[in-house]
Chains A and B, each alone.
Chain A
């Protein structure tokens, strides 16, 4: 068996510790940026939902501004956003390279996407429920937390799953241009040194990470669905 592996993935075996480290870096980038993305995106999603026409705190001006900013950010391809943000990233993260330097662009690149996912999930809450809660004298924060968020858990967990999977892909892209992680590993060790088995190994690990996220997401969505 070791001999067989030696034949098909000789380079990977030599770089196993580096592969492991790259995997951890990818998880680190994903995890840290995900924390910010979920909180910020959720807040924006809620804001979009309540300020839209007919919303709980209808405010056309706020809605329009957010809407335009989100659309603008979403129309910039991530690879360009990475370069575009370099000066800002330096100010905020202290560096524009490595795992730390990738967090800020990942957040900026993914928050707009997730805020739309969150908005869509919240829009799926039956307006009748909001009306019922209002008729019971429920406060606005009460309606947001006890009705909107609680009732949209299945849809939200699906949105979060999609977002996290996207994010894993973006970390790889960020990695290829200087951040760490599996993207960087595949590019530096694989592409530049012409070691095809390294690229494949990075892909396999990414596939596993994505699968795990998808499976967990499905379980939560299913469990919360009534």
Chain B
């Protein structure tokens, strides 16, 4: 559906070159919800803007449905852009227009009659759940309602692709959740391909099918969301994954010399990570029975991503040394990541 080939974009700022996109190639399938995650300045904003050519890459190609759009200009490019909706962190609604007028804006001169325009806009507002706000001005809406209005507007010209530029970053967690739910339902109902960029791992976790991790203008890691979470390869990916779990909290405790982690002789701190989708058994009780060691859970973070549990535990293991070693050995053999801290 969307193919980026060797996209490069360099900015010169105060005499310094800055690679916002550095030879990025990427393929996004039809009907996918694809996440691009990275810290600010990683180049994800630039990359997503290359898809509708709000930013023109210095080199490389953008193919939408097999068609090279980098060669398009003027009216042809504008026609192509209508097939790609976009929503933004700060909603970018026209303050001087009502919600209804905002939704009509992109299709105002598309040849539809006034009545048809209104009908279509109302249907879209119905779809995003704010039909009752049609006559309101953006300043009268909450953040979530504004983003819903912006989504309705982005869908007005029946796009096949929706680009989301940090679309939930200005929203509170509950509202974020509801907007993500809406996006997921639009993806299912309309077969909409969604590309979203974010610095919130939770967003990726809750709706993306695949994700790319960006750093310094490059995609450093790419894969299905479960794989990225279960087995992050790059330091930057790991730090993102850590933001969604509390397992790294143990390091802080050790640093603070908290009484929780003052070990008695024979005790050891272990960190387990579930690496495989099958790791769904009664781990703790089974190893404590088999190796006759006691496991005291200090931290735990387990969630379900793509129908599989993911996460891990930090435990203090108490028992004789050989038994603990045997337990660690066993866990590794069933593909649970174990770190002795």
List residues of A whose CB falls within 8 A of some B CB: 126, 128-129, 131-139, 146-147, 150-151, 153, 224, 226
Q: Are A136 and B106 in contact (CB under 8 A)?
A: yes
A-B contact count (CB 8 A): 61
Minimum CB–CB distance from A70 to chain B (whole Å) comes to 28
The answer, among A126, A138, A150, for a CB contact under 8 Å with B92, is A126
Cβ of B237 within 8 Å of any chain A Cβ, yes or no, is no
Give the secondary structure class of B's interface.
Answer: mixed
Contacts of B106 in A (CB 8 A): 136-138
- Evaluate whether A151 and B92 lie within 8 angstroms (CB atoms) in the complex, with A131-B54, A226-B138 already known: no
Q: From residue B135, how far is it (CB to closest CB) to chain A in Å?
A: 12
Chain B contact residues, CB within 8 Å of chain A:
52, 54, 75, 77-82, 84-86, 88, 90, 92, 94-97, 105-106, 108, 137-139, 153-154, 156-157, 163
Q: In the docked arrangement, what's the CA distance between A136 and B88, Å?
A: 12
> B54 near A135 (CB under 8 angstroms)?
yes
Alpha-carbon distance between A151 and B105 when the two chains are bound, in angstroms: 13
Are A136 and B96 interface neighbours, CB within 8 A? no
> A153–B163 Cα gap in the complex (Å)?
30
Closest beta carbon of chain B to A215's beta carbon, Å: 22
Q: Which of A131, A137, A150, A153 contacts B78 (CB 8 A)?
A: A137
CB <8 Å contact, B139 and A134:
no
Let me know if A137 and B88 touch, CB within 8 A. Answer: no
Contact status B96-A153, CB under 8 Å: yes
Q: Could you list 5 A-B pairs, sorted by A, with CB under 8 Å? A: A129-B92, A147-B94, A151-B95, A226-B95, A226-B137
B88 close to A151 (CB less than 8 A) = no
Residues of B close to A224: CB separation below 8 A: 96
Select which of B78, B80, B88, B157 is within 8 A of A132 by beta carbon: B88
Contact: B81 with A150, CB < 8 Å? no
Contact A129/B94 with A135-B81, A137-B81, A226-B137 known, Cβ cut-off 8 Å: yes
The 4 tightest CB contacts between A and B, nearest first, are A132-B92, A136-B106, A137-B78, A137-B81
Complexed CA–CA distance, A224 and B97 (Å): 10
- B156 — which chain A residues lie within 8 A by C-beta? 136
Other-chain residue from B80, B85, B96, B139 in contact with A150 (beta carbon distance below 8 A)? B96
CB distance from A157 to the nearest CB of B (A): 12
Residues of B within 8 A of A129 (CB): 92, 94
Which residues of B have CB within 8 Å of A138?
Answer: 78, 105-106
Known: A128-B90, A146-B105, A226-B138. A135 touches B84 (CB 8 A): yes
